[in-house]
Amino acid sequence: MTTLETTCCIVGGGPAGMIAGWLLARAGVDVIVLEKHADFFRDFRGDTIHPSTLELVYELGALDEFSAVPQTRIDHLDLQILGERAPGPDFRDLPTHCKEVALMPQWDFLDFVARQAKRYSRFRLIMEADCEDLATEGDRITGVLARTPDGPLEVRADLVVGADGRHSNVRDRAGLRRIDVGAPIDVLWMKLPKLPSDPSQVLGIIAVQQFLVMLDRGTYWQCAYLIEKGGTDAVKARGLPAFRRRLAEIAPFLDDRTSALASWDDIKLLTVVVDRLERWWRAGLICIGDAAHAMSPVGGVGINLAIQDAVALANRVAEPLREHRLTDDDLAAVQARREAPARRIQRLQVAIHEHVLEQILAGRGKFRLWLVRFALRHASWLRRKIANTVGVGQLEHVQPAPA
Protein backbone atom coordinates (compact mmCIF):
# COMPACT_ATOMS: atom_id res chain seq x y z
CA MET A 1 0.00 0.00 0.00
CA THR A 2 1.31 3.45 -1.00
CA THR A 3 0.50 6.25 1.44
CA LEU A 4 0.47 9.94 0.53
CA GLU A 5 -0.08 12.93 2.82
CA THR A 6 -1.78 16.09 1.64
CA THR A 7 -3.99 18.85 3.00
CA CYS A 8 -7.01 18.32 0.76
CA CYS A 9 -7.89 15.17 -1.17
CA ILE A 10 -10.54 15.66 -3.84
CA VAL A 11 -12.30 12.58 -5.20
CA GLY A 12 -13.49 13.11 -8.79
CA GLY A 13 -11.94 15.02 -11.67
CA GLY A 14 -15.17 16.45 -13.08
CA PRO A 15 -15.96 20.18 -13.26
CA ALA A 16 -16.45 20.53 -9.47
CA GLY A 17 -13.34 18.59 -8.46
CA MET A 18 -10.95 20.05 -11.04
CA ILE A 19 -11.97 23.66 -10.39
CA ALA A 20 -11.78 23.13 -6.61
CA GLY A 21 -8.28 21.64 -7.08
CA TRP A 22 -7.15 24.55 -9.25
CA LEU A 23 -8.46 27.19 -6.82
CA LEU A 24 -7.11 25.55 -3.67
CA ALA A 25 -3.63 25.01 -5.17
CA ARG A 26 -3.66 28.64 -6.32
CA ALA A 27 -4.51 29.64 -2.73
CA GLY A 28 -1.46 27.75 -1.42
CA VAL A 29 -3.15 24.53 -0.27
CA ASP A 30 -1.62 21.11 -1.05
CA VAL A 31 -4.20 19.22 -3.11
CA ILE A 32 -4.46 15.75 -4.61
CA VAL A 33 -7.30 15.07 -7.07
CA LEU A 34 -8.14 11.39 -7.66
CA GLU A 35 -9.94 10.53 -10.90
CA LYS A 36 -10.98 6.96 -11.57
CA HIS A 37 -10.73 7.14 -15.38
CA ALA A 38 -7.51 7.30 -17.41
CA ASP A 39 -8.60 10.47 -19.24
CA PHE A 40 -11.46 12.98 -19.38
CA PHE A 41 -12.84 11.55 -22.61
CA ARG A 42 -16.34 10.53 -21.67
CA ASP A 43 -19.38 11.41 -23.65
CA PHE A 44 -22.17 11.57 -21.11
CA ARG A 45 -21.36 15.10 -20.05
CA GLY A 46 -22.85 18.39 -21.15
CA ASP A 47 -20.88 20.82 -23.27
CA THR A 48 -22.12 24.14 -21.97
CA ILE A 49 -19.64 26.51 -20.35
CA HIS A 50 -21.86 29.18 -18.87
CA PRO A 51 -21.24 32.92 -18.50
CA SER A 52 -20.64 32.36 -14.75
CA THR A 53 -17.78 29.96 -15.55
CA LEU A 54 -16.41 32.33 -18.20
CA GLU A 55 -16.49 35.04 -15.51
CA LEU A 56 -14.47 32.79 -13.22
CA VAL A 57 -11.92 32.12 -15.97
CA TYR A 58 -11.75 35.89 -16.56
CA GLU A 59 -11.20 36.59 -12.84
CA LEU A 60 -8.42 34.00 -12.87
CA GLY A 61 -6.73 35.78 -15.81
CA ALA A 62 -6.98 32.74 -18.09
CA LEU A 63 -9.57 33.92 -20.63
CA ASP A 64 -7.08 34.20 -23.52
CA GLU A 65 -5.87 30.62 -23.04
CA PHE A 66 -9.46 29.44 -22.70
CA SER A 67 -10.42 31.25 -25.92
CA ALA A 68 -7.61 29.43 -27.77
CA VAL A 69 -9.38 26.07 -27.19
CA PRO A 70 -11.74 25.27 -30.13
CA GLN A 71 -15.28 26.21 -29.19
CA THR A 72 -18.48 27.82 -30.42
CA ARG A 73 -19.81 30.91 -28.65
CA ILE A 74 -23.51 31.72 -28.69
CA ASP A 75 -25.12 34.85 -27.24
CA HIS A 76 -28.69 33.64 -27.66
CA LEU A 77 -30.43 30.38 -28.39
CA ASP A 78 -33.46 29.50 -30.44
CA LEU A 79 -36.01 26.76 -29.93
CA GLN A 80 -38.30 25.14 -32.42
CA ILE A 81 -41.71 24.67 -30.86
CA LEU A 82 -44.59 22.98 -32.71
CA GLY A 83 -42.78 23.43 -36.03
CA GLU A 84 -42.00 27.14 -35.64
CA ARG A 85 -38.89 28.87 -34.42
CA ALA A 86 -39.05 30.88 -31.19
CA PRO A 87 -36.30 32.86 -29.46
CA GLY A 88 -34.92 31.22 -26.34
CA PRO A 89 -32.54 32.53 -23.64
CA ASP A 90 -30.77 35.78 -24.53
CA PHE A 91 -27.39 36.29 -22.84
CA ARG A 92 -26.53 39.67 -24.37
CA ASP A 93 -27.58 41.76 -21.33
CA LEU A 94 -25.98 39.69 -18.59
CA PRO A 95 -23.96 41.50 -15.91
CA THR A 96 -20.84 39.43 -16.76
CA HIS A 97 -17.79 40.13 -18.95
CA CYS A 98 -18.65 37.37 -21.40
CA LYS A 99 -22.27 37.62 -22.42
CA GLU A 100 -22.26 34.23 -24.12
CA VAL A 101 -22.28 30.50 -23.56
CA ALA A 102 -19.25 28.60 -24.87
CA LEU A 103 -19.97 25.18 -26.34
CA MET A 104 -16.89 23.04 -25.82
CA PRO A 105 -16.70 19.27 -25.33
CA GLN A 106 -16.24 18.79 -21.62
CA TRP A 107 -13.03 16.76 -22.04
CA ASP A 108 -11.42 19.80 -23.71
CA PHE A 109 -12.60 22.02 -20.87
CA LEU A 110 -11.25 19.64 -18.21
CA ASP A 111 -7.92 19.36 -20.07
CA PHE A 112 -7.75 23.17 -20.03
CA VAL A 113 -8.46 23.27 -16.27
CA ALA A 114 -5.84 20.55 -15.66
CA ARG A 115 -3.22 22.56 -17.59
CA GLN A 116 -3.96 25.66 -15.52
CA ALA A 117 -3.96 23.80 -12.21
CA LYS A 118 -0.71 21.96 -12.97
CA ARG A 119 1.10 25.31 -13.01
CA TYR A 120 0.85 25.22 -9.23
CA SER A 121 3.33 22.87 -7.58
CA ARG A 122 0.80 22.18 -4.83
CA PHE A 123 -1.61 20.56 -7.31
CA ARG A 124 -1.40 16.88 -8.10
CA LEU A 125 -3.81 14.91 -10.30
CA ILE A 126 -3.74 11.12 -10.08
CA MET A 127 -5.67 9.41 -12.87
CA GLU A 128 -6.95 5.81 -12.66
CA ALA A 129 -7.37 6.14 -8.89
CA ASP A 130 -10.76 4.76 -7.93
CA CYS A 131 -11.82 5.75 -4.41
CA GLU A 132 -13.23 2.66 -2.75
CA ASP A 133 -13.42 3.67 0.88
CA LEU A 134 -12.73 6.36 3.45
CA ALA A 135 -10.24 6.28 6.33
CA THR A 136 -11.62 7.36 9.71
CA GLU A 137 -10.40 8.15 13.20
CA GLY A 138 -13.37 8.08 15.53
CA ASP A 139 -16.07 10.20 13.85
CA ARG A 140 -13.63 12.10 11.69
CA ILE A 141 -12.78 11.29 8.06
CA THR A 142 -9.01 11.35 7.73
CA GLY A 143 -8.42 10.16 4.19
CA VAL A 144 -9.28 8.05 1.19
CA LEU A 145 -8.50 4.49 0.16
CA ALA A 146 -8.22 4.03 -3.60
CA ARG A 147 -7.46 1.32 -6.13
CA THR A 148 -4.86 2.16 -8.79
CA PRO A 149 -3.07 0.12 -11.50
CA ASP A 150 0.01 0.22 -9.21
CA GLY A 151 -1.87 -1.22 -6.25
CA PRO A 152 -3.78 0.21 -3.28
CA LEU A 153 -3.29 3.87 -2.39
CA GLU A 154 -4.10 5.70 0.83
CA VAL A 155 -4.27 9.49 0.79
CA ARG A 156 -4.35 11.13 4.25
CA ALA A 157 -5.79 14.63 4.33
CA ASP A 158 -7.25 17.32 6.62
CA LEU A 159 -10.22 17.48 4.24
CA VAL A 160 -11.73 15.00 1.79
CA VAL A 161 -13.95 16.53 -0.91
CA GLY A 162 -16.49 14.23 -2.55
CA ALA A 163 -16.80 15.60 -6.11
CA ASP A 164 -17.46 12.17 -7.60
CA GLY A 165 -20.75 12.93 -9.27
CA ARG A 166 -24.31 11.70 -8.95
CA HIS A 167 -23.40 8.09 -8.09
CA SER A 168 -20.96 9.32 -5.43
CA ASN A 169 -19.22 6.54 -3.54
CA VAL A 170 -17.75 9.08 -1.10
CA ARG A 171 -21.23 10.26 -0.12
CA ASP A 172 -22.38 6.66 0.46
CA ARG A 173 -19.27 5.67 2.42
CA ALA A 174 -19.64 8.77 4.58
CA GLY A 175 -23.23 7.76 5.35
CA LEU A 176 -24.67 11.10 4.21
CA ARG A 177 -28.43 10.86 3.73
CA ARG A 178 -29.70 11.41 0.18
CA ILE A 179 -33.17 12.76 -0.54
CA ASP A 180 -34.40 11.44 -3.89
CA VAL A 181 -36.47 14.16 -5.55
CA GLY A 182 -37.20 11.94 -8.59
CA ALA A 183 -37.38 12.71 -12.29
CA PRO A 184 -40.01 11.48 -14.79
CA ILE A 185 -37.61 11.51 -17.77
CA ASP A 186 -34.58 9.70 -19.10
CA VAL A 187 -32.43 10.66 -22.05
CA LEU A 188 -31.25 8.76 -25.12
CA TRP A 189 -27.89 10.18 -26.20
CA MET A 190 -26.57 9.78 -29.76
CA LYS A 191 -24.43 11.39 -32.48
CA LEU A 192 -25.63 12.27 -35.97
CA PRO A 193 -23.50 13.71 -38.79
CA LYS A 194 -23.79 17.46 -39.41
CA LEU A 195 -23.90 19.00 -42.89
CA PRO A 196 -23.13 22.61 -43.89
CA SER A 197 -26.72 22.93 -45.16
CA ASP A 198 -28.19 22.16 -41.70
CA PRO A 199 -30.09 24.95 -39.92
CA SER A 200 -28.02 27.10 -37.58
CA GLN A 201 -27.92 26.27 -33.87
CA VAL A 202 -31.31 25.32 -32.51
CA LEU A 203 -31.06 24.15 -28.96
CA GLY A 204 -34.29 22.26 -28.66
CA ILE A 205 -36.92 20.94 -31.04
CA ILE A 206 -40.18 20.41 -29.22
CA ALA A 207 -43.32 18.81 -30.59
CA VAL A 208 -46.20 16.82 -29.17
CA GLN A 209 -44.73 13.63 -27.62
CA GLN A 210 -41.20 14.53 -28.76
CA PHE A 211 -38.32 16.58 -27.41
CA LEU A 212 -34.91 16.63 -29.07
CA VAL A 213 -31.94 18.67 -27.84
CA MET A 214 -29.10 19.19 -30.32
CA LEU A 215 -25.61 20.38 -29.43
CA ASP A 216 -23.39 21.54 -32.28
CA ARG A 217 -20.04 19.75 -32.03
CA GLY A 218 -18.64 21.04 -35.32
CA THR A 219 -18.74 17.96 -37.53
CA TYR A 220 -21.65 16.25 -35.80
CA TRP A 221 -24.75 16.87 -33.72
CA GLN A 222 -24.75 15.49 -30.19
CA CYS A 223 -28.43 14.69 -29.72
CA ALA A 224 -30.43 14.09 -26.57
CA TYR A 225 -33.88 12.58 -27.08
CA LEU A 226 -36.18 12.67 -24.07
CA ILE A 227 -38.20 9.62 -23.11
CA GLU A 228 -40.41 8.73 -20.15
CA LYS A 229 -38.53 7.39 -17.13
CA GLY A 230 -37.88 3.68 -17.67
CA GLY A 231 -39.21 3.91 -21.23
CA THR A 232 -36.18 2.46 -23.06
CA ASP A 233 -37.57 -1.05 -23.35
CA ALA A 234 -40.76 0.27 -24.94
CA VAL A 235 -38.73 2.37 -27.41
CA LYS A 236 -36.57 -0.66 -28.28
CA ALA A 237 -39.60 -2.92 -28.62
CA ARG A 238 -40.94 -0.64 -31.38
CA GLY A 239 -37.66 -1.23 -33.25
CA LEU A 240 -34.78 0.87 -34.54
CA PRO A 241 -36.42 1.80 -37.88
CA ALA A 242 -39.39 3.24 -35.94
CA PHE A 243 -37.03 5.22 -33.72
CA ARG A 244 -35.17 6.59 -36.76
CA ARG A 245 -38.52 7.62 -38.26
CA ARG A 246 -39.45 9.50 -35.06
CA LEU A 247 -36.19 11.45 -35.25
CA ALA A 248 -36.79 12.32 -38.90
CA GLU A 249 -40.33 13.42 -38.05
CA ILE A 250 -39.21 15.91 -35.44
CA ALA A 251 -36.11 17.09 -37.39
CA PRO A 252 -36.76 16.38 -41.10
CA PHE A 253 -33.29 17.65 -42.12
CA LEU A 254 -31.84 14.61 -40.31
CA ASP A 255 -33.82 12.18 -42.45
CA ASP A 256 -30.90 11.23 -44.74
CA ARG A 257 -28.63 10.55 -41.74
CA THR A 258 -30.60 8.59 -39.21
CA SER A 259 -29.11 5.44 -40.79
CA ALA A 260 -25.89 6.47 -38.95
CA LEU A 261 -27.65 4.85 -36.01
CA ALA A 262 -26.78 1.32 -37.13
CA SER A 263 -27.72 -0.48 -33.91
CA TRP A 264 -28.93 0.25 -30.38
CA ASP A 265 -25.23 0.33 -29.38
CA ASP A 266 -25.09 3.77 -31.06
CA ILE A 267 -27.75 5.05 -28.65
CA LYS A 268 -26.85 5.38 -24.95
CA LEU A 269 -29.36 5.61 -22.14
CA LEU A 270 -28.62 8.34 -19.59
CA THR A 271 -30.68 7.91 -16.47
CA VAL A 272 -31.77 11.26 -15.09
CA VAL A 273 -31.46 11.69 -11.33
CA VAL A 274 -32.53 14.65 -9.20
CA ASP A 275 -31.54 14.40 -5.56
CA ARG A 276 -29.80 16.26 -2.76
CA LEU A 277 -28.05 15.55 0.48
CA GLU A 278 -29.70 16.51 3.74
CA ARG A 279 -26.27 17.42 5.09
CA TRP A 280 -23.34 17.89 2.71
CA TRP A 281 -20.59 17.32 5.25
CA ARG A 282 -19.30 15.57 8.33
CA ALA A 283 -16.06 16.18 10.24
CA GLY A 284 -13.19 16.07 7.72
CA LEU A 285 -15.38 15.67 4.60
CA ILE A 286 -17.69 17.63 2.32
CA CYS A 287 -19.54 16.81 -0.91
CA ILE A 288 -20.03 19.33 -3.72
CA GLY A 289 -21.49 19.37 -7.23
CA ASP A 290 -23.66 16.45 -8.33
CA ALA A 291 -22.44 14.42 -5.33
CA ALA A 292 -24.33 16.90 -3.12
CA HIS A 293 -27.22 17.67 -5.51
CA ALA A 294 -27.62 15.75 -8.77
CA MET A 295 -29.28 17.96 -11.36
CA SER A 296 -31.62 17.23 -14.23
CA PRO A 297 -30.28 18.17 -17.68
CA VAL A 298 -33.14 20.71 -17.92
CA GLY A 299 -31.56 24.14 -18.39
CA GLY A 300 -28.06 22.65 -18.68
CA VAL A 301 -27.15 24.10 -15.29
CA GLY A 302 -25.42 21.18 -13.57
CA ILE A 303 -21.87 22.11 -14.58
CA ASN A 304 -22.55 25.73 -13.67
CA LEU A 305 -23.73 24.88 -10.16
CA ALA A 306 -20.96 22.33 -9.58
CA ILE A 307 -18.32 24.92 -10.46
CA GLN A 308 -19.91 27.62 -8.30
CA ASP A 309 -19.88 25.15 -5.37
CA ALA A 310 -16.15 24.67 -5.97
CA VAL A 311 -15.53 28.44 -5.87
CA ALA A 312 -17.54 28.86 -2.65
CA LEU A 313 -15.67 25.93 -1.10
CA ALA A 314 -12.24 27.31 -1.98
CA ASN A 315 -13.18 30.80 -0.77
CA ARG A 316 -14.23 29.47 2.61
CA VAL A 317 -11.75 26.69 3.38
CA ALA A 318 -8.46 27.78 1.73
CA GLU A 319 -7.21 29.86 4.65
CA PRO A 320 -8.21 27.44 7.46
CA LEU A 321 -6.72 24.57 5.43
CA ARG A 322 -3.45 26.46 4.90
CA GLU A 323 -3.28 27.02 8.64
CA HIS A 324 -4.52 23.48 9.49
CA ARG A 325 -7.42 24.83 11.57
CA LEU A 326 -10.45 23.73 9.53
CA THR A 327 -13.61 23.36 11.62
CA ASP A 328 -17.07 21.90 11.08
CA ASP A 329 -18.38 25.48 10.97
CA ASP A 330 -16.38 26.11 7.77
CA LEU A 331 -18.01 23.10 6.10
CA ALA A 332 -21.48 24.03 7.34
CA ALA A 333 -20.94 27.54 5.95
CA VAL A 334 -20.25 26.14 2.46
CA GLN A 335 -23.51 24.19 2.53
CA ALA A 336 -25.39 27.22 3.89
CA ARG A 337 -24.11 29.33 1.00
CA ARG A 338 -24.69 26.87 -1.85
CA GLU A 339 -27.73 24.84 -0.81
CA ALA A 340 -30.31 27.55 -1.57
CA PRO A 341 -29.23 28.13 -5.21
CA ALA A 342 -29.18 24.36 -5.86
CA ARG A 343 -32.63 23.89 -4.32
CA ARG A 344 -34.06 26.85 -6.24
CA ILE A 345 -32.93 25.36 -9.54
CA GLN A 346 -34.14 21.89 -8.60
CA ARG A 347 -37.60 23.29 -7.76
CA LEU A 348 -37.67 24.93 -11.18
CA GLN A 349 -36.54 21.73 -12.90
CA VAL A 350 -39.19 19.67 -11.09
CA ALA A 351 -41.88 22.19 -12.12
CA ILE A 352 -40.72 21.95 -15.76
CA HIS A 353 -40.66 18.13 -15.54
CA GLU A 354 -44.21 18.00 -14.18
CA HIS A 355 -45.93 20.82 -16.03
CA VAL A 356 -44.19 20.70 -19.40
CA LEU A 357 -42.09 17.60 -20.15
CA GLU A 358 -44.41 14.98 -18.69
CA GLN A 359 -47.31 16.59 -20.54
CA ILE A 360 -45.40 16.71 -23.83
CA LEU A 361 -44.29 13.08 -23.59
CA ALA A 362 -47.83 12.01 -22.75
CA GLY A 363 -49.09 13.87 -25.85
CA ARG A 364 -51.13 16.36 -23.80
CA GLY A 365 -49.11 19.55 -23.81
CA LYS A 366 -50.03 21.24 -27.09
CA PHE A 367 -51.72 24.29 -25.56
CA ARG A 368 -48.94 24.73 -23.01
CA LEU A 369 -46.35 24.56 -25.77
CA TRP A 370 -48.25 27.16 -27.73
CA LEU A 371 -48.30 29.37 -24.60
CA VAL A 372 -44.54 28.88 -24.02
CA ARG A 373 -43.85 29.81 -27.65
CA PHE A 374 -46.11 32.87 -27.40
CA ALA A 375 -44.43 34.00 -24.15
CA LEU A 376 -40.92 33.56 -25.56
CA ARG A 377 -41.78 35.50 -28.69
CA HIS A 378 -43.39 38.43 -26.91
CA ALA A 379 -41.57 38.81 -23.58
CA SER A 380 -37.93 39.76 -24.03
CA TRP A 381 -37.64 40.15 -20.23
CA LEU A 382 -38.48 36.44 -19.92
CA ARG A 383 -35.69 35.46 -22.33
CA ARG A 384 -33.25 37.61 -20.33
CA LYS A 385 -34.51 36.21 -17.02
CA ILE A 386 -34.04 32.61 -18.21
CA ALA A 387 -30.53 33.51 -19.43
CA ASN A 388 -29.66 34.99 -16.04
CA THR A 389 -31.03 32.03 -14.05
CA VAL A 390 -29.36 29.44 -16.28
CA GLY A 391 -26.17 31.29 -17.16
CA VAL A 392 -25.28 33.11 -13.98
CA GLY A 393 -27.39 32.20 -10.93
CA GLN A 394 -25.87 33.06 -7.55
CA LEU A 395 -22.41 34.11 -8.70
CA GLU A 396 -19.33 33.38 -6.58
CA HIS A 397 -16.22 35.52 -7.11
CA VAL A 398 -12.68 34.19 -6.64
CA GLN A 399 -10.57 35.70 -3.92
CA PRO A 400 -7.17 37.17 -4.80
CA ALA A 401 -4.33 34.65 -4.55
CA PRO A 402 -2.17 35.11 -1.42
CA ALA A 403 1.03 37.11 -2.04
Binding footprint of ligand FAD on the chain (CB under 6 A): 11-17, 34-37, 45-48, 130-131, 163-165, 169, 187, 224, 270, 272, 289-291, 295, 297, 300-304, 306
Smallest gap, in angstroms, from Cβ of residue 40 to ligand FAD?
A: 7
Residue 151 backbone dihedrals phi, psi, to 5 degrees: 110, -175
The dihedral through the CA atoms of 217, 218, 219, 221 has a sign that is: positive
Query: Whole-angstrom Cα distance, residue 132 to residue 120?
Result: 27
Q: In what order do the strands lie in the sheet with 101-103?
A: 48-49, 101-103, 72-74
Smallest gap, in angstroms, from Cβ of residue 11 to ligand FAD?
A: 5
Smallest gap, in angstroms, from Cβ of residue 197 to ligand FAD?
A: 25
Smallest gap, in angstroms, from Cβ of residue 325 to ligand FAD?
A: 27
Smallest gap, in angstroms, from Cβ of residue 22 to ligand FAD?
A: 13
- The answer to whether residues 304 and 391 touch, using CB atoms and an 8 Å cutoff, is yes
Taking the least distance from each CB to ligand FAD, the nearer of 172 and 319 is: 172
Taking the least distance from each CB to ligand FAD, the nearer of 27 and 203 is: 203
Work out whether strand 178-180 and strand 275-277 pair parallel, antiparallel, or are unpaired. Answer: antiparallel
How far, in Å, are 76, 331, 355 from residue 218 at the CA level? 18, 41, 33
Smallest gap, in angstroms, from Cβ of residue 131 to ligand FAD?
A: 4
Taking the least distance from each CB to ligand FAD, the nearer of 28 and 231 is: 231
Taking the least distance from each CB to ligand FAD, the nearer of 17 and 184 is: 17
Residue 54 backbone dihedrals phi, psi, to 5 degrees: -65, -35
Taking the least distance from each CB to ligand FAD, the nearer of 182 and 402 is: 182
Q: C-alpha angle with apex 168: 165 to 170, nearest 5 degrees?
A: 125
Taking the least distance from each CB to ligand FAD, the nearer of 148 and 322 is: 148
The dihedral through the CA atoms of 79, 85, 90, 92 has a sign that is: positive
- The answer to whether residues 161 and 286 touch, using CB atoms and an 8 Å cutoff, is yes
Smallest gap, in angstroms, from Cβ of residue 16 to ligand FAD?
A: 3
Query: Whole-angstrom Cα distance, residue 319 to residue 327?
Result: 11
Taking the least distance from each CB to ligand FAD, the nearer of 28 and 72 is: 72
